[in-house]
Amino acid sequence: MSPVTPRPNDDLVLLGRDPISPDTLVRHVRQSHDGAVVTFDGCVRNHSHGRATLYLEYESYESMALEKMKEIAASLHTLFAIDSVAIAHRLGRLEIGETSVFIAVSAPHRKAAFEACRHAIDTLKKTVPIWKKEFFADGAIWADGELPPVPAATPAAKPAS
């Protein structure tokens, strides 16, 4: 996750095993013409469904996940009056308290930055092919998730039998 010279609308999308650097992402989106930077820091909680969590493991369909994250970043520009976006998601084993996902959105005004950041994390959780396994003292389970929306069949497709 190397620092990048920021430019307007130059979004940053990262998916990998290295720890996420929130400072790098905030610096990336923050420009002199912005009046607001809103961030979301998703971190590993020490409990789930009433049980003490030991750690989490994230895996993904990496090439598709990265594309879906880029699509989210691009969509924010069409939906909200924002400047730029940085999204990072981590994979592999994460300990309690570590950041699993971080989103930073800059905008001239705060309302668009808040709304876009919320939209980004909500959409990520529904559409990006990443899976979380929760490890407890007495076993491990795949976390409940959301089934991504799938486009309707096109006329070219064969009718369901």
Residue 100: CB minimum distance to other proteins, A: 7
Binding flag, residue 153, other proteins (CB under 8 A): yes
Select from 24, 84, 100, 106 the one that contacts other proteins (CB under 8 A). 100
d(CA 86, CA 14): 8
Binding flag, residue 155, other proteins (CB under 8 A): no
Site residues for other proteins, window 25-54 (CB under 8 A)?
42
**CA distance readout (Å), 153 to 68, 156, 157, 158:** 20, 8, 6, 8
Site residues for other proteins, window 58-87 (CB under 8 A)?
58-61, 63-65, 67
User: Which of residues 30 and 135 has its CB atom nearest to other proteins in the complex?
Assistant: 135
Residues 6 or more apart in contact with residue 81 via CB below 8 angstroms = 107, 108, 109, 112
Binding flag, residue 148, other proteins (CB under 8 A): yes
Binding flag, residue 92, other proteins (CB under 8 A): no
Residue 37: CB minimum distance to other proteins, A: 20
What one-letter code names the amino acid at 23? D
The residue count for the chain: 161
Q: How far is CA 107 from the centre of its chain?
A: 18
Strands 51-60 and 99-107: unpaired
Write out the residues near other proteins by the rule CB under 8 A.
Answer: 42, 58-61, 63-65, 67, 89, 100-101, 121, 124-133, 142-153, 156-161
